[in-house]
A and B are shown apart, each in its own frame.
Chain A
Amino acid sequence: METTEKKKKEYQKAVKVLSPNSHIIKNCIWAFFSGGTICLIGHILRKIFESLNYSEDKTALLVNLILIGSSALLTGLGLYSKMGKKCGAGTVVPITGFANSMVSPSIEYKTQGFILGLGAKMFTVAGPVLVYGITTSVVVGIIHYFVMG
């Protein structure tokens, strides 16, 4: 048993040494096209709202509304995680991935209750993002005040 385990490990090591680059390139191509497509959709939506004479702020908000809403729907139907397996970072990095990181645990943990299940787990990823995003923004604001003020 031990030798087969050992052989298995050695084999996995060999595979890892031989194939990582082709693997990474393939993943990157998927990430590029999927992430690019999501951004392209965002840009098309933006152009549509701009042509309807919405202000810059309102346009950005409406685009987010549609992208986050679509992501919530796809996550609920179990399609977003399927896309994620192929697309990798292409579905993680866009705002739809951020929405997915909130929607997915919300659905999964609602059986543990609406407060400590749904309510708390919703922020498993979004919580840290907000903590460090907000902190950085405060630092940026303070520096801006002393440098530019």
Chain B
Amino acid sequence: MNLMEYLRAFITGGIICVIGQILIDKTKLTSARILVLFVVSGCILGGLGVYKYIYDFGGAGATVPLTGFGYLLSKGVIEEVDKVGFLGAFTGGLKSAAGGVTIAVIFSLLAAIIFKPKEKN
């Protein structure tokens, strides 16, 4: 077991979240805008081939933050374009994200059925 690997995941994830925190505190961006910004940034950095290095260094520290979701989209679309050509640009991204999105939808639906809305104080 390599403990450094876990430390790297912790630090990478922590730093990405700190970037988000600085954006929230300094720019008053809402969390929705932050999430959009992070997905788009991850996708661009993935397309440029930069995010792969962050992933190789940080493992889940790079995939768990939403920039990792953007990276997944870029990775999927590039693989699909290599496989089927131009039309892959329209299927690759969502294909790679299909599992995550479907899981989130199903769990949201289940949670809404099981839990009652909380009273606002």
Contact = CB atoms under 8 A, between A and B. Distances in A.
B contact residues, range: 35 or more
Given A39-B64, A68-B107, A102-B105, A28 B22 contact: yes
Given A89-B24, A138-B77, A140-B74, A64 B18 contact: no
Contact of A101 (B19, B31, B92, B112): B31
Interface residues of A, number: 78
B81 A95 contact: no
A43 B60 contact: yes
A93 B17 contact: yes
B39 A36 contact: no
A141 B59 contact: no
Interface of B: 5-6, 9-26, 31-32, 34-36, 38-40, 43-44, 46-47, 58-61, 63-70, 72-74, 76-78, 80-82, 85-86, 88-90, 92-94, 97, 99-101, 103-105, 107-118
Given A44-B6, A136-B47, 17 more contacts: A24-B22, A32-B21, A63-B64, A68-B104, A69-B103, A76-B114, A89-B20, A93-B20, A93-B35, A99-B104, A107-B112, A122-B109, A134-B73, A136-B43, A138-B90, A138-B93, A140-B78
